[in-house]
Chain A
Amino acid sequence: MTNAKPTDVRAKVPEGLPDAERALAALVEKMRGAVALDAKLIGIYSGGAWLAERLAAILPGNLPVGFIDVSFYRDDYGQKGLRTKVETTTLPFEVEGSRIVLVDDVLYTGRSVRAAINEIFDYGRPEKIELAVLVDRGGRELPIEATYVGARVSVARELSVVLNREADRFQLSVEPVTSEPRA
């Protein structure tokens, strides 16, 4: 899939990519004490799902974790069709009246978050939804901001920032944008 040379790609990340584990530690620091002890985490597939699992393991309170695949709510379905791999949204708790922290790996246009919020409301009316992201890369196309941010980075438009997981450790990389819908 990545046919561009890594050196070409890295040059388009002005201040370099942050270390993902350090960004996670920074995110945890911001969330600790701020997130309600009865909050429920919802990770957006796939990177946000991994991140939600890590956060639940680290944060106090044994927060329950759900997973959401926003493919059925995306606004680019009319242009790009349905994604090929759609996971099953699993929210193993009551959404009605609960405090939700939506979790995603990379915040960019804000469109995935919009889709996720719409889907969550089809399960019930939450009391509150916050947003936690590992990386905020700017470039918003909707009025959406994260409540908790691990790191900020500036990356050229033609690149996507991708979270990788290896032996339960996170790493960030950049890839040329594919025809698959953007996060």
Chain B
Amino acid sequence: MHNPQLNAGGELQHLLTLEGMPAAIVERILDTAVPFVSIAERDVKKVPLLRGKTVFNLFFENSTRTRTTFEIAAKRLSADVINLNVGVSSTSKGETLLDTIDNLVAMNADMFVVRHAQSGAPHLIAQHLSARQREHVHVINAGDGRHAHPTQGLLDLFTIRHYKREFRNLTVAIVGDVLHSRVARSLIHGLTTMGAAEVRAIGPQTLLPTAVEKMGVRVYHDMKSGLAGCDVIVMLRLQTERMKGSLLPSAGEFFKHYGLTADKLASARPDAIVMHPGPMNRGVEIDSAVADGKHSVILPQVTFGIAVRMAVMSILGGG
């Protein structure tokens, strides 16, 4: 099947999903992110790669954090960055998504970073650009519906590789609201591609997608057995704003069974790392003592996220 995020030469043209992404490209992004980490430690936190390029952050769904990290990444590459909270501008005046894109292309946009509540919106934009012969304009999916959040998946992979060196022997548990989580989906695809030994999903039946086992994931409904022997634990945010109906009795009940406490963490390997994509709900999916404890790599994830986004943008933006 043709993958629209790769060009005819098999190079990255857009970043839409980690599903079906060749391992060599994932590896190249992770390798390229390494030297970008040290750029952030310099006095001048800037390199000239995207000088003169214009990056549009198109956020049809609110996310201050993700937008900020993309903005910082683009600015550290010397791009001009325009932030559009589209939800409150043109679309509310009736303009269609693709008309918005055409207008921004007419303003000489070079790259779109797209966040949309609708799964497939970035894909649609990429296809539209290609139909209009705008191959020099690139699209990065910054999260679409429940579908994918590939830069989050990549930064999770980068963090895991940073602390654990390689993926082959790792057991990784993803805990909580897998059903509503594009973060989980992207990470599962990434881990499978990179050859992780075992990927587990832990959560109540109501918060695990029915087909999750088809993605090569082992399902657990209790923390003790699910976390046993794990090298990496990824806690997901309980996405209360995405929940319709009663999938859960209460946040307190959820914490009792699936909230990560020091006691539950003791089932994992002694050198296990704890990750969270943020923003986290302390006392709902994670206990403060764990979030701030020695296993936690939650803040390094944020730092690495900027380097990974710089890597993606600089690979896409070159000639």
Contact = CB atoms under 8 A, between A and B. Distances in A.
B210 interface: no
Interface in B38-58: 38-39, 42-44, 46-49
B32 interface: yes
* Interface-central residue, B38, B39, B49, by most chain A CB under 10 Å: B49
Interface string A85-96: 111111000000
Given A82-B314, A84-B28, A77 B319 contact: yes
B31 interface: yes
B26 interface: no
B34 interface: yes
Contacts of A87: 35
Q: Is the interface of A mostly helix, strand, loop or mixed?
A: loop
Contact of B35 (A79, A84, A86, A118): A86
Nearest to B38: A88
Contact of A88 (B35, B44, B318, B319): B35
A73 B34 CA distance: 16
Interface residues of B, number: 19
B35 A89 contact: yes
A72 B76 CA distance: 11
Given A82-B318, A88-B35, A88-B38, A72 B28 contact: no
Given A82-B314, A88-B35, A73 B42 contact: no
Interface in B43-81: 43-44, 46-49
Contacts of B34: 86, 88
B170 interface: no
B44 A82 contact: no
A75 to B, nearest CB: 9
A127 interface: no
A22 interface: no
Contact of A86 (B32, B44, B48, B319): B32
Interface size class of A (residues with CB under 8 A): 20 to 34
Contacts of A122: 42-44, 46-47
A78 B35 contact: no
Nearest to B78: A72
Interface string B17-34: 000000000001001101
Nearest to A88: B35
A16 interface: no
* A-B pairs with lowest CB-CB distance, top 6: A81-B318, A72-B47, A122-B44, A88-B35, A79-B319, A78-B319
B318 A86 contact: no
Contacts, number: 53
A73 B50 CA distance: 10
Interface string A107-127: 000000000001100111000
Nearest to A81: B318
A86 B28 CA distance: 10
A73 B43 contact: no
Contacts of A105: none
Contact of B44 (A69, A78, A79, A123): A123
A169 B123 CA distance: 52
A73 to B, nearest CB: 6
B319 to A, nearest CB: 4
B296 to A, nearest CB: 25
B48 A82 contact: no
B43 A77 contact: no
A68 to B, nearest CB: 11
Contact of B48 (A69, A72, A84): A72
B315 interface: yes
Contacts of B49: 72, 77, 82
B318 A80 contact: yes
A122 B49 CA distance: 14
A76 B43 CA distance: 25
